[in-house]
Structure 1
Amino acid sequence: MKYATALLLCLMPLLANALEPGDRLAPWTLLDQHDQAYSLDAGTQILLVARDMNGAKLVKAALADLPEGYLEARNAVFVADIQRMPALISKLFAIPAMRDYNYRVLLDRDGRVASRYPGQDGQVQWLQLEQGKLVSQRAFADAPALKAALETAPRH
């Protein structure tokens, strides 16, 4: 019985983050690589979340050679969890390099947003939304599959 209780206590944080279709996502606001604020709203239809640099590299590879505004045309946003990146590295190198990207990167500097959504390191979590509610979710571990999924997403 002690082991079952201990196991349940260990799993509770994971269960707390579980999102089910129909759940409304709590609002948040993050700054992008240009220090422009973005707030999650009912118009967002695709939320991409990368928990680490490898996940962010998948998004970068999937969006390589695509025009500026590609994500916006699909009502998609990309959140990069950079909390583990040393502040000096992010300030002097990483964020200035991101300013050359042709897409917006919402920077989760303290992990408070990315931690709300399930997902694993090295992957990109795709949350499909409708009017702020979760419709479905999936994970991508390779850039070509992510790019193919984005290409089939409705454009607005």
Structure 2
Amino acid sequence: MKYLAILLFSLLPVLAHAVEPGERLAPWTLLDQYDQPYSLGADTRLLLVARDMDGAKLVKAALAGQPKGYLEARGAVFVADIQRMPALISKLFAIPAMRDYSYRVLLDREGRVASRYAGAEGQVLWLVLDQGVLVTLREFADAQELKAALEGAATQ
């Protein structure tokens, strides 16, 4: 029985429903690194999702040196899946360090939001939205490519 449970839990990511272009994203609310709530809304044009620390590091590198409000000016938000981070580490070290970032990080502490969007670990999932409907999605594994795409998002 124990092995059956382990098998079922290991298959959950494979069985998870991946959003497809044309689908409306289900609403959600997450707290950021300042414990301020943010709800996915019709004004969100770009959703960046990092499923692990490597993906979050790509976003950090792409946004290095950018002014405060850079993502917001593009209608973009960044969701970081931190469910696997030990609670003590996140509370004492990681989240306080994130308060020094020049951008908002929406913290998915239980993985309930990031798991809705199928994406590879070590990458950043880029979802373009129009009034809450998914238009396109891409994945980035390179910080420079992500940075260039964000610069291009300013002109759209």
TM-score by length of 2: 0.90
Quote the offset at 1:14 in angstroms: 3.2
* Map of 2:59 onto structure 1: 59
The match for 1:149 is 149
- 2:121 partner SS: coil
Tell me the matched-pair count.
Answer: 147
Aligned residue number for residue 38 of structure 1: 38
What SS does the corresponding residue of 2:57 show, helix, strand or coil? helix
Q: Is the counterpart of residue 112 in structure 1 residue 138 in structure 2? A: no
> TM-score if structure 1 supplies the norm length?
0.90
Q: Which residue identity lines up with residue 129 of structure 1 in the other structure?
A: L
1:13 deviation in Å?
5.5
Structure 1 residue 147, shift from structure 2 partner: 0.2
Say which SS state the counterpart of residue 38 (structure 1) adopts. strand
Amino acid at match of 2:69: G
Distance across 1 between alignment mates of 2:15 and 2:72: 31
Tell me the alpha carbon deviations over residues 23-43 of structure 1, each in whole angstroms, 9 at most, x when there is no partner. 000000000000000000011
**Structure 1 pair 56/13, CA: closer, same or farther in 2 (3 Å)?**
closer
- Secondary structure of the equivalent of 1:136? strand
Offset of residue 19 of structure 1: 1.4
For structure 1, the 5+ residue unaligned runs are 1-9
- Which secondary structure does the structure 2 equivalent of 1:84 belong to? coil
Percent identical among aligned pairs is 76
